[in-house]
Structure 1
Amino acid sequence: QQPHGAHSERAAGWTAGVARVPGAASSLTARPMATAPVDSGSPNATRNGEPVASAADPPTPPRGGADGHPATHGWALYVDQLLGVLLDRASVLTGFVTHALGAALVTLATTGIGYIVWLYFALVSPYWFTPLSAPWFALTAVGVWLLVMILFSYFATIMTSPGLAPEAPSRDLRVRAEALTPPALVEAHEPGALDPRSGGEFSTEDRRTGRWKPPRSHYDHVSGKVVLRFDHYCPWVWNAIGHFNYRYFIGFLVYMFAGCIYFAVLAFPLFQAKDLPESIPPGWRVHVNVGLVLPLSVSLAVGLFALWHGFLAATNQTTIEFFHNLSRAARARERGYASANFYDLGIARNLREVFGTGHVCLLLAPVLRAPPGNGIEWATRIRPSIEYSRLGRDGTWHVPKDLGAAEARGSARPASTVSVGGGGGGGAVATRRRPVAADGASAV
């Protein structure tokens, strides 16, 4: 664990790199934390109330065994290395099995959908109405529309790439994407938080591939790639869920839930009937039972997933980010400061980042549309036109509260700040805003 001063220097160096962003050259600065002078010649020298070793002090003996070597036994290091290798191999094996299982699960899913379609035309629709009558056409039209949307969303999720991090991004793209990454500001006081090779949540280099890791991207163990806005790998769609296929995945969950409920409602009277119609063979009672249990079970599973991912889309989070935010909020409560999801732009804007803009009817039609943005640069609640100061002995970052529409129009107003990094009190706040351009410069 490095001393606190090293992190201040690292944060200052990182922020100086941010200042090279076009249009924000003088808008973001960092000042190292001021410390009290130290009189090394004094036998009772202190820094910030803590004793400091002086030149007259005797040298500290090395920790460890009698010969000065670390006390850690060789077998313990060997076990640690062995466990690390085994975990890596297990991760590779799990990813291989998951990917190989994907083809079987896709086949099983399409077979199940085909089985439900056969049950509808062979059992359910003849029970309700005479085939080819007007009511029959009305019920069938709704069912066919749901079937088309299910199949379209399903195969669009399978065939659409989730988006992969570029192997050789331009320098300008890297600077724009990494400039003022809000979570990095919040965690700047954490040991190693800004180390690009730390492998942490906000590191900018993937430790497995050695390639650039843009904001909100993560390594997918199954594909072995860095996926943009990575949520999870779903074996049922044989693909990773990321920035470019997330809207199709949510659409599949919603339409699959609606289709299963629609079929279960129509099949329930047939399930309750003691005597089946003469047109249905006596041995087909098992198909009637399966035709109700199967869609109800599937609707329960996909319905819960649809609610979960609807919540994530409305709050502009991924599954990984949700648990990271929970962990960060817990640490914030322990230290007495606030924690926020800086990518949360409000429900309307959050949904537009997933589904795009346009008429709502486009969501009800089988249309291939890419979401807005490139999956690398993200709009946030923080703008590069704000200066941050890290003052006080607690090393607290002071960032402004949610920016209103007045600032987006280019007006400047007094800064109101909320502490989000470190303990409470003990430092002056020096945060000021500069007028921003009409475009808002919100892509970070």
Structure 2
Amino acid sequence: WLNNCVGHYNHRYFFSFCLFMTMGCIYCSISGWDMFRDAYAAIERMKLLEKERLQVAANQTYYQTPPPTFTFRQRAFHKSVVYLWVLCSSVALALGALTLWHAALITRGETSIERHINRKERQRLQKKGKVSIAHGTGAGWGRARRDVPLPVLQVFRNPYSYGSWDNWKVFLGVDVPRHWLTRVLLPSPHLPHGTGLSWDLPPCVMEQRAPLLAI
């Protein structure tokens, strides 16, 4: 799915890694805000004092350079704090966007490849004007009789989507309520449903939804 790095059996681990890493970066950015602000102010103060020191040295008659105002260790510490805060904040934004993107795919019951396949298939069938036909009651269709079934155009629907909530339960492997604790909050080596090529109806899904395909 991602250059063959993420597949059916490690998709949950990949999403968990992205989610927990994003949460950790956000925590570090928030908790380290005061340190970042103090370190940034110290760096600006060091620049100002260094400039004043050079001006004083230029006005002196002897050629001996005065010692620096801050030690190398102090400068390295303040710059490291600023670098770490910027790094954590940048990773939180980038990885957070990737996590939200995969969360949207999971909600729709798709993978990144299936999203492209479904989109192209939907566009192809729309261009050909091929849509599935269902039956309605005819209500609200002008002079049509209310007891005469009329064709209703249906939209393309992902056949592997069980609904937003059930898609998350299938993805996390939650078959019974206790699995929210044993399989989600606690580490669990359980395997996902299906083999990656074929899927049976997961136990957490009560009723199979008939896919509406524009064919």
- Tell me if the contact between 2:157 and 2:213 (Cα under 8 Å) persists in the aligned partners: no
CA distance in 2, matches of 1:343, 1:272: 49
Partner amino acid, structure 1, of 2:5? A
Secondary structure of the residue aligned to 1:420 is coil
Aligned length: 152
Aligned equivalent of 1:354: 171
Does 2:74 correspond to 1:282? yes
Q: Superposed, which structure 2 residues align to 1:265-344 within 5 Å?
A: 265-273=30-38, 274-275=41-42, 281-283=73-75, 284-336=77-129, 337=131, 338-344=155-161
Deviations 1:109-162 (A, max 9, x none): xxxxxxxxxxxxxxxxxxxxxxxxxxxxxxxxxxxxxxxxxxxxxxxxxxxxxx
Q: 1:367 aligns with which of 188, 192, 205?
A: 188
CA distance in 1, matches of 2:95, 2:211: 42
C-alpha displacement of 1:256: 0.4
Q: Superposed, which structure 2 residues align to 1:73-222 within 5 Å?
A: none
Aligned equivalent of 2:7: 242
Task: Answer 1 or 2: higher relative contact order, Cα 8 Å, separation at least 6.
Answer: 2
C-alpha displacement of 1:329: 1.2
Deviates more, 1:311-320 or 1:258-267: 311-320
Partner amino acid, structure 1, of 2:173? G
Gaps of 5+ in 2: 44-72, 132-154
Q: Higher helix share goes to which structure?
A: 2
Aligned equivalent of 1:420: 214
Judging changes above 3 Å, is the alpha-carbon distance between structure 1 residues 289 and 419 closer, same or farther for their aligned structure 2 residues?
A: closer
Secondary structure of the residue aligned to 2:32 is helix
CA distance in 2, matches of 1:261, 1:376: 37
CA distance in 1, matches of 2:211, 2:28: 54
CA distance in 2, matches of 1:267, 1:313: 32
Aligned equivalent of 2:47: none
C-alpha displacement of 1:379: 4.3
C-alpha displacement of 1:354: 1.7
Judging changes above 3 Å, is the alpha-carbon distance between structure 1 residues 275 and 240 closer, same or farther for their aligned structure 2 residues?
A: closer
Secondary structure of the residue aligned to 2:214 is strand
Judging changes above 3 Å, is the alpha-carbon distance between structure 1 residues 332 and 250 closer, same or farther for their aligned structure 2 residues?
A: same
CA distance in 1, matches of 2:211, 2:89: 50
Aligned equivalent of 1:376: 197
How does the TM-score come out when normalised to structure 1? Answer: 0.31
- Tell me if the contact between 2:109 and 2:161 (Cα under 8 Å) persists in the aligned partners: yes
CA distance in 1, matches of 2:87, 2:34: 16
CA distance in 1, matches of 2:79, 2:185: 34
Gaps of 5+ in 1: 1-230, 234-238, 381-403, 409-415, 422-444
Deviates more, 1:359-368 or 1:301-310: 359-368
CA distance in 2, matches of 1:292, 1:315: 34
- Tell me if the contact between 1:267 and 1:291 (Cα under 8 Å) persists in the aligned partners: no
Superposition CA RMSD, Å:
2.9
CA distance in 2, matches of 1:295, 1:375: 35
